[in-house]
Amino acid sequence: MKKDIILSGVGGQGILTIATIIGEAATAEGINLKQAEVHGMSQRGGDVQSNLRLSDKNIYSDLIAQGKADMIISMEPMEALRYLPYLHEEGWIITSANPFKNIPDYPEDDELVNTLESLPHVVKLEIEDIAKENNMPKCANVILLGMAAKYIEILSPEQLRESIGRVFAAKGEKIVEMNQRAFDIGLNAVK
Amino acid sequence: MAEKELLLGDEAIALGAIHAGISGVYAYPGTPSTEITEFIQNNPLAKERKLHSTWCTNEKTAMEAALGMSYAGKRALVCMKHVGMNVAADAFVNSAITGVNGGLVVLAADDPSMHSSQNEQDSRFYGKFAMIPILEPSSQQEAYDMMGYAYSLSEDLKLPILMRVVTRLAHSRAAVEVAVIHEENQLNPDNERTHWVLLPGNARKQYLELVRKQKEMEESSSKSPYNCLENLNSEHDYEFGVIACGIGYNYIKEADRDDSHIPVLKVSQYPLPENEVRTMAANCKYILVVEDGQPFVEGMVKAFLSKDYEVKGRLTGTLPRTGELTPDNVSEALGREVKCSFGKSQVVMPRPPALCQGCGHRDVYDALNKVVTEYPNARIFGDIGCYTLGALPPFRAIDSCVDMGASITMAKGASDAGVFPAIAVIGDSTFTHSGMTGLLDAVNDHANITVVISDNLTTAMTGGQDSAGTNKFEAICLGLGIEPEHVRVVVPLPKNMEEITRIIREEIEYKGVSVIIPRRECIQTLNRKLRQKRADKS
């Protein structure tokens, strides 16, 4: 089995934390992994993405080929669409529905929604709003991971939940609990 | 089971170097190489061994300090981004002439596709130019393993080794199996003087010695565990074979999942193993060269095979002439169709990076833009750092950005030619890296320029590393001979706009070199410190 995942968003939204949690879970389960990240200039409010490749076989390329991504997990709806040429025809888009508008020519809301809804496999949710309602504004990225958890398949939601415990352990029990709660909110929001 | 760690390519290099027994890393931050030194700074074994890991002022001082450590018999690592090689080049090229005592590895991280750079120069040319071995790992595991190998090779050949990586390896994570941990070398300064003193008489001998070593280097490449010929049976003829350099090998292996058994010469150590290339040419109708960066191997192969033998690659357009390799362009070069189910979406707009909200550079550009409306002939020479983003909207404030330190010297040259006002904008770390010498030129020549050292107390673009000149800028400027009344310090905040614009006007009107230092901490490092403080409290 293999899962090629593109994580996307805007610099500072926390996609690398999602990658770290998935990566930690994969390593604990002995699943092969390669994860290409973006560092440097683009992190200053520009578009960022990470290619995350998981497989029970050897992985060579650090990058995902066009048309081969099984999932796009995005912190931002327009950023989800940026990587469409990489999505497999059966692939899923799991995205935040809250736009991040820091450019003057950001598309109209309904244009964006219509484009997303024209695609066959999309799950979207206002994760920023949910995070605020639940008093965990910094955990929107982990809510998103919860939403994606059932589709990752090569790792179970339980394995990801345990990985959150290990990744945040150094920050104390409170932070671990809050992030696991965020994960569950995302997980339960998707039927 | 051996211990496995999930590491960035950069981190694998760092851990490999620590385990190879280095006594120090010398570096100036630069994407995509920064994480190597950062990893060593935070590694427990490195701390226990008290390995040198503080940042250097620039790549040249780094290279020279590492050569000094090697002279003393210990193993040293130098790290930089590709353009840093230009700065270190004098010391680098001559270190091949002196040779080394303790093992010395120079790590150059290239950035094909210019993700965070101003060009995509290929550091392998520097290795060939200096006539030393080059290593180019194809994976994180190889990057780790190669460090031990590189230090042995360096001490065997008594030469520095260039290790070249690209962004995609430097910034990609994979599990790495950790091997043996070596002790550091004992202090053992070289007692032989002549080969370290490059007077022409000595240098000529040393150069001949370097030429003599080329054969050993070639033999080492030929039997290197990192070079191998795969899927080639000398009894058979093939349509084509591939020379796959560094991570180019991965894209070929990925394409080969359909078991088409493409003959491949994997190259991760140079000089290029010529015999293996000839074997491939004898059995394949043509050779495709898959290499990240510039057509380095392609040009060499073309030069030593017969004139009518067909070699394909970036020069023939089989692969794109510019930009990094991808699974897609390599597939296409192999004649495979790349299938997309979904096209590019028309609603997606570019989202370029921007200066952070609350960043002091913003206030500097606001002030400069206000003042220069009064001077229609003004030119603002920029430099390398976050503040280069001042070229983009809404500021559009700078007219140039070329190389580290060029703002000051270009402003001076333009002023010499008659441009007024000629203004330079340079960051604190870039100023100490390569701006100070240019400022001395300007002072000695009584140039009429205004230099803005936008000081945010850190090397911000690469993530907030220590900046060599922090707390020293006024003293440096005075020491270089700027008149004390023309070294002006301001706090770049919107509420001080009136004061800042007044000072800029005054210094533009002063006929001589003036320095304005807007000083306010980087918003990123400030927030990081505040978060840390809160975490420590709770």
pLDDT tens-digit readout, B458-473: 999 999 999 999 999 9
Q: What is the DSSP string of B314-354?
A: TTTTSS-SSS---HHHHHHHTTPPPP-SS---TT-------
Q: What confidence tier does B534 reach under pLDDT thresholds 50, 70, 90? A: confident
Q: Which of residues 91-130 of A touch B (CB under 8 A)?
A: 91, 102-107, 111-112, 115, 119
Residue B493 has pLDDT above 80, yes or no: yes
Contact B77, B162 (CB under 8 A): no
Contact B28, B56 (CB under 8 A): yes
pLDDT tens-digit readout, B181-237: 999 999 999 999 999 999 999 999 999 999 999 999 999 999 999 999 999 998 999
Contacts of A42 in chain B (CB under 8 A): 115-116, 353
Residues B318 and B376 in one domain: no
Mean pLDDT of the region B336-362: 94
Residue B124 domain-assigned?
Answer: yes
Residue B353 domain-assigned?
Answer: no
Residues B204 and B240 in one domain: no
Q: Which of A46, A59, A88 sits opposite B352 (nearest CB)?
A: A46
Please identify, among B318, B333, B348, the residue that sits at the C-terminal boundary of a domain. Answer: B333
**How many angstroms separate the CA atoms of B413 and B415, rounded?**
5
Mean pLDDT of the region B417-423: 98
Residues B232 and B196 in one domain: no
Residues B32 and B132 in one domain: yes
Mean pLDDT of the region B335-364: 94
Q: Which of A10, A44, A65 sits opposite B356 (nearest CB)?
A: A44
Residue A42 has pLDDT above 80, yes or no: no
- Which of A42-46, B42-46, B100-104, B333-337 is the least confident region? A42-46
In which region does residue A174 sit, left (phi positive, over 0), alpha (psi from -120 to 50) or beta (all else)?
alpha
Residues B482 and B406 in one domain: yes
Short-list B54, B56, B41, B127, CA closest to B89: B127
A38 versus B155: the higher-pLDDT residue is B155
For position B198, which CATH number holds?
Answer: 3.40.50.970
Contact B103, B70 (CB under 8 A): yes
Residues B217 and B88 in one domain: yes
Residue B476 domain-assigned?
Answer: yes
Total count of domains within chain B: 3
Substitution target in B35, B116, B118, B173 with the highest count of A β-carbons within 10 Å is B173
Strands B379-381 and B4-8: unpaired
Whole-model pTM: value is 0.96
Substitution target in B3, B140, B172, B351 with the highest count of A β-carbons within 10 Å is B351
Contact B37, B206 (CB under 8 A): no
pLDDT tens-digit readout, A58-79: 999 999 999 999 999 999 999 9
Residue B1 has pLDDT above 60, yes or no: no
Q: How many CB atoms lie within 10 A of CB B486?
A: 17
Please identify, among B184, B208, B223, the residue that sits at the C-terminal boundary of a domain. Answer: B223
Residue A12 confidence (pLDDT): 85
Residue B260 confidence (pLDDT): 83
Residue A44 confidence (pLDDT): 78
Q: Which of B169, B254, B386 sits opposite A60 (nearest CB)?
A: B254
Report chain B's mean pLDDT, rounded to a whole number. 96
Residue B339 domain-assigned?
Answer: no
Structural domain including B419 reads 360-525
Residue B536 domain-assigned?
Answer: no
Residue B3 confidence (pLDDT): 75
Residues B134 and B273 in one domain: no
Strands B269-270 and B134-135: antiparallel
Residues facing B266 on adjacent strands? B228, B244
pLDDT tens-digit readout, B20-62: 999 999 999 999 999 999 999 999 999 999 999 999 999 999 9
**How many angstroms separate the CA atoms of A160 and A19, rounded?**
11
Report chain A's mean pLDDT, rounded to a whole number. 95
Contact B376, B370 (CB under 8 A): no
For position B243, which CATH number holds?
Answer: 3.40.50.920
Please identify, among B223, B251, B279, the residue that sits at the C-terminal boundary of a domain. Answer: B223
Residues B126 and B184 in one domain: yes
Residue B538 confidence (pLDDT): 67
Q: What is the DSSP letter of B459?
A: B
Contact B38, B16 (CB under 8 A): no
Residue B346 domain-assigned?
Answer: no
Residues facing B110 on adjacent strands? B166
Residue B531 domain-assigned?
Answer: no
Residue A43 confidence (pLDDT): 72
Residues B402 and B472 in one domain: yes
Residue B513 domain-assigned?
Answer: yes
Q: What confidence tier does B158 reach under pLDDT thresholds 50, 70, 90? A: very high
Residues B380 and B489 in one domain: yes
Residues B267 and B150 in one domain: no
Short-list B425, B423, B380, B381, CA closest to B402: B381
Residues B328 and B473 in one domain: no
